[in-house]
Amino acid sequence: MLTELWANAKIAWLERDFPKYGSPEWIALDPGDPRRLAGALEAAEMWRRYGDEEELCDWLKRLGHRPNLVDTRSRAQLDALAKPKPPHQLRATPGWPPIRVPGKPGRYLTHTEGRAAA
């Protein structure tokens, strides 16, 4: 039964013979109809690939919210944000154990009064 439903849903999906997931036509289908499964599978695949921004925007509009989907920053500001950040500088802290230095086997940073020692 399940194998047959899956096979028929795959055929419907390949032939694009099914209504859009969540549409009145889709809801009217019998739960055992393979076209219903095909519609759900297509919706899941589209969500995995792209997300469903249009539906999300419509849903938020119905709720009365106005999402800020367009960033108001300039191209120069966005380019500045995209630049790589400098690497984190390791610092030993009082009361904490020594820090192993990545890429340098056997080397640790330890804290001494007034300054960090390598």
Distance CA 21, CA 117 (A): 63
* Whether residue 6 has pLDDT greater than 80: no
What pTM was computed for the model?
Answer: 0.39
The beta strands (E) that lie in 1-118 are given as 99-100, 108-112, 115-117
**Domain ranges, ordered by start, for the chain:** 2-63, 86-118
Token pair listed for 48: 């995995």
- pLDDT tens digits, residue range 70-85? 557 788 888 888 898 8
Inter-residue contact 73 to 44 (CB < 8 Å): no
Q: According to the model, what pLDDT value does residue 2 have?
A: 67
Report DSSP state, residue 37. Answer: H
In total, the chain counts a number of residues equal to 118
* Whether residue 41 has pLDDT greater than 70: yes
Q: According to the model, what pLDDT value does residue 28 have?
A: 92
